[in-house]
A = this chain, B = another copy of it.
Amino acid sequence: MKLYDYFRSSAAYRVRIALNLKGLAPERAFVHLRRGDHREENYLALNPQGLVPSLVTDDGAVLTQSLAILEWLDETHSRSPLLPADPSGRARVRSLALTIACDIHPLNNLRVQNYLTGTLGVTDAQKDGWVRYWIDTGFEALETRLAGDAATGRFCHGDAPTLADVCLVPQMANARRMDFDFTPYPTLLRIEAACAALPAFANAAPAKQPDAEK
């Protein structure tokens, strides 16, 4: 197995956490997004979207899109299940994860920020306001759902980490890279702290990766 990774990609960060939870340590290659490695012919042949992560399996299949990779890891490696057993619980966990993976993260990633400041010519302050707005909009909904539901435990769903936590922690790390006010989100902070206490989460953090930069 080989992971195409970038320390600062929060989609790759999700996959790193899941690999750690599953006890897997694949070979890794690093795709430097700010330098444009993802636009090189070799990488586009592997992943036509030019995004990270990609995961090449032992039988040569190229898996793309972090949530598809996470589901594949969960279907093929039973240790530390990322989804509960009941369909209704699975739907809850996936919905929490998708709120981040569809409705926060894609609006704020590097290519979108570049379009805003480049093609549309918005100021850095407007761009930061955009990023903060979509994080707040998503976090408000997550805080309401998590705080008001008995299915929430030490983690987003019960007392073991799931797909929802795997998506939440990298999104919170992204927010921490800017001046972001977490005061309205006590439940998210509590769950983030519970995750940070687990080596699988702590060791997946951007700063701990071989390609990390200051």
Q: Is the interface of A mostly helix, strand, loop or mixed?
A: helix
Copies of the polypeptide in the assembly: 2
The interface-forming segment of A23-31, A89-97, A170-178, A199-207 is A89-97
**CB contact under 8 A between A65 and B130, given known A120-B122, A141-B48, A141-B49:** no
Q: Are A95 and B65 in contact (CB under 8 A)?
A: yes
Q: Are A48 and B144 in contact (CB under 8 A)?
A: yes
**CB contact under 8 A between A68 and B49, given known A76-B87, A106-B102:** no
- Name the one of B75, B98, B101, B120 contacting A87, with C-beta atoms under 8 angstroms: B75
**CB contact under 8 A between A91 and B115, given known A49-B141, A98-B65:** no
- Name the one of B71, B119, B129 contacting A94, with C-beta atoms under 8 angstroms: B71
Interface size class of A (residues with CB under 8 A): 35 or more
Known: A48-B144, A57-B88, A68-B90. 5 other contacts (CB 8 A): A63-B92, A75-B90, A102-B105, A102-B106, A116-B120
Interface residues in chain A, defined as those with a beta carbon under 8 Å from any beta carbon in chain B: 48-51, 57, 59, 61, 63-65, 67-69, 71-72, 75-76, 87-88, 90-92, 94-95, 98-99, 101-103, 105-107, 112, 115-116, 119-120, 122, 126, 129-130, 133, 138, 140-141, 144-145
